[in-house]
Amino acid sequence: MEALIPVINKLQDVFNTVGADVIHLPQIVVVGTQSSGKSSVLESLVGRDVLPRGTGIVTRRPLIFQLVHIDSDDRKKTNEENGIDGEEWGKFLHTKNKIYTSFEEIRLEIEAETERVSGINKGISDDPIHLKIFSPHVVNLTLVDLPGITKVPVGDQPKDIEIQIKDLIFKYIANPNSIILAVTAANTDMATSEALKVAREVDPDGRRTLAVVTKLDLMDAGTDAMDVLMGRVIPVKLGIIGVVNRSQLDINQKKAVADSIRDEYAFLQKKYPSLANRNGTKYLARTLNRLLMHHIRDCLPELKTRINVLAAQYQSLLNSYGEPVEDQSATLLQLITKFAAEYCHTIEGTAKYIETAELCGGARICYIFHETFGRTLESVDPLGGLTTIDVLTAIRNATGPRPALFVPEVSFELLVKRQVKRLEEPSLRCVELVHEEMQRIIQHCSNYSTQELLRFPKLHDAIVEVVTSLLRKRLPVTNEMVHNLVAIELAYINTKHPDFADACGIMNNNIEEQRRNRMRDLPSAVPRDKAAAGSSSHSSSMSEQGDSGTGSWRGMLKRDDGASSPQKGHAVNLLDVPVPVSRKLSAREQRDCEVIERLIKSYFLIVRKNIQDSVPKAVMHFLVNHVKDCLQSELVGKLYKTALLNELLTESEDMAQRRSEAADMLKALQKASQVIAEIRETHLW
């Protein structure tokens, strides 16, 4: 199982080559406050002075250590291949294959790389530095050193430096595959440990947190860390390990890490003899190695699944980017044909990518025809905007100077045309809505169906322009046809229409029935013929009386009294047509108006039914079907030209780069999958 950590290191190398952070690999994340002894703990594990030193915030970028244990054979092989002489060396990711045999050079390179990205001030960056240390004196570990937690900005640090550092820490410790190494100084109160506090926020059960207590030798006289190390103050599931760091004086005097570890062992034997074998740097290294191996073993199944899923996603992404173009003519024709086919399939409802969020294509056109347009027509009142006075005025205007014995047919025709004309606006609006949907289908096909077009923005724009132009040309033709449909209905009012004739027959029967009822209600002493004649005479008399009443046409021209008469000596201008005002209609006027209104309503419903049926058919024939039938030939005729090949098939500037990045990531994922497969074959997992 010891070989599991090198496997993870190999996976880390694989993903480092593509600069990817899509896979969370198992690693140990070191967190603590400034000057808590984090750097000293790390250097003790490495066994060499390798980290920058100074006051204030020194670690300003995440530093990912990969400690690789090597044997003598590996060391000799590397020395021969690279022409170096040494048993320990280091390599940075950003310097490629350069090998550092001097740990002083490694420290200076860390400082230079930190300033290159984070600047010379005390600001921080989340861009990590990758360092791999090869040594026979280390155990296999992957460690991440992070900036120390601080509270107050100093110098030219940003005001929100505390928030920035905590966000950076949470980015790493939130990884469920990480082990948190919470470092706390022994001469501080364990209950106020910031490291344990942030660890508990992402690991409340403490299943992946190990506490390290530093500076055991700096505790106040008469006190010790026995209760802390025994877990009596704050229990930590993975354990609490105490270590003794080098003092600043030791560092200044270049005291070797190996000497410091020997002094640490002597201190623990003297101060904590019963706990000496479960504390110290060497025990910490072995414990971390063991925890990491077990953690890797537990994480591998999920890691394998994640890698396979990502490999499938990147394969699909790479497929969408397509291969570099070799035959331009064939590629252009293929893309044009595919777009035209997908456009037609979207209208017909047979597209490969079915929209689930909203109606699209043919389904939306159907909705426009039968829901939007249908409901709009049904909401049009057959008598809307038509008052009884309008009807009465039309009847009188149609009779000319002579009183009419019957309701004039001209008045019905005049009024019904006025009402039918109101159907034109919603019909034209229906055409507009379908045209808008046909335009939207272009974008739908670009986004979902033919992603290859995204490779060639100029071709995409050209296709959009051609289809838009075709739709634009068909719009006035379709509008004209719909306008003609309404004009046809206005051109000839067919009062012999079967449905209209049936309505007239029913209405005449109702009127006749009403007349008989009135005759039946007359007193029996009055003869029927005289009663009928008297009724007509009475109606005429009443009509004249009504005409001479207030609000009548003739009454408004007649002088009734001095108040309404012009002054004496002034002539009355009979050409001044008065405005009729509201009044109670006579029985005949009411009957005539009802007859006209019923006829208008009956005929309007017939025409509305015709329009509701014929407008969708016209739109389908003149707009939708015409575009479907002509789209392929239109695109080929306008775009399939030798002179346009280079221009239309020019890829977007970043497409080649994205294709390369996707290919590299796919290759890395496939390699990672092979590495995990090797683990299964060697029974390490």
- Supply the DSSP string of 610-658, one letter for each residue: HHHHHHHHHHIIIIIHHHHHHHHHHHHHHH--GGGHHHHTPPPTTHHHH
Inform me whether the pLDDT recorded for 488 exceeds 60: yes
* pLDDT of the residue at 199: 92
Average pLDDT for residues 458-484, to the nearest whole number? 93
**CA-to-CA distance for 266 and 604, rounded, in angstroms?**
108
Inform me whether the pLDDT recorded for 34 exceeds 90: no
* pLDDT of the residue at 613: 94
388 contacts 585 by C-beta, under 8 angstroms: yes
Integer CA distances (angstroms), 180 to 165, 211, 291, 374, 582, in order:
16, 8, 11, 66, 90
572 contacts 566 by C-beta, under 8 angstroms: yes
* pLDDT of the residue at 515: 58
Average pLDDT for residues 159-182, to the nearest whole number? 89
DSSP β-ladder status, 63-69 and 99-100:
unpaired
* pLDDT of the residue at 312: 87
Average pLDDT for residues 586-591, to the nearest whole number? 76
Burial of 246-255, coded b for 16+ CB within 10 Å and e otherwise, reads beeebbeeee
Average pLDDT for residues 487-502, to the nearest whole number? 84
> 93-128, pLDDT tens digit by residue?
888 778 888 888 998 999 888 888 877 777 788 888
Integer CA distances (angstroms), 339 to 449, 450, 649, in order:
8, 6, 15
> 401-430, pLDDT tens digit by residue?
766 666 667 778 888 888 899 999 999 999
* pLDDT of the residue at 332: 86
Residue with the larger pLDDT of the pair 560 and 459: 459
Among residues 254, 284, 292, 252, which one has the least CA distance to residue 268?
284
Query: What percent of the chain stands above pLDDT 70?
Result: 80
* pLDDT of the residue at 454: 72
Amino acid occupying residue 443: Q
* pLDDT of the residue at 21: 59
Among residues 158, 128, 130, which one has the least CA distance to residue 146?
128
Average pLDDT for residues 305-330, to the nearest whole number? 81
Specify the range with the lowest mean pLDDT, choosing from 14-18, 78-82, 587-591, 676-680. 14-18
**CA-to-CA distance for 493 and 501, rounded, in angstroms?**
12
Stated pTM of the model: 0.56
> 620-646, pLDDT tens digit by residue?
999 999 999 999 999 999 888 888 888
Pick the most confident of 34-38, 121-125, 169-173, 219-223: 169-173
Q: CB neighbours of 362 closer than 8 A, spacing ≥ 6? A: 346, 347, 348, 349
* pLDDT of the residue at 519: 61
Inform me whether the pLDDT recorded for 138 exceeds 60: yes
* pLDDT of the residue at 651: 76
* pLDDT of the residue at 350: 81
Please provide the size of the chain in residues.
685
Average pLDDT for residues 513-524, to the nearest whole number? 57
Residue with the larger pLDDT of the pair 517 and 496: 496
149 DSSP 8-state letter: B
* pLDDT of the residue at 407: 64
User: Residue 175 phi/psi, 5° resolution?
Assistant: -60, 115
**CA-to-CA distance for 351 and 368, rounded, in angstroms?**
20
User: Residue 179 phi/psi, 5° resolution?
Assistant: -105, 130
Specify the range with the lowest mean pLDDT, choosing from 210-214, 486-490, 652-656. 652-656
* pLDDT of the residue at 510: 58
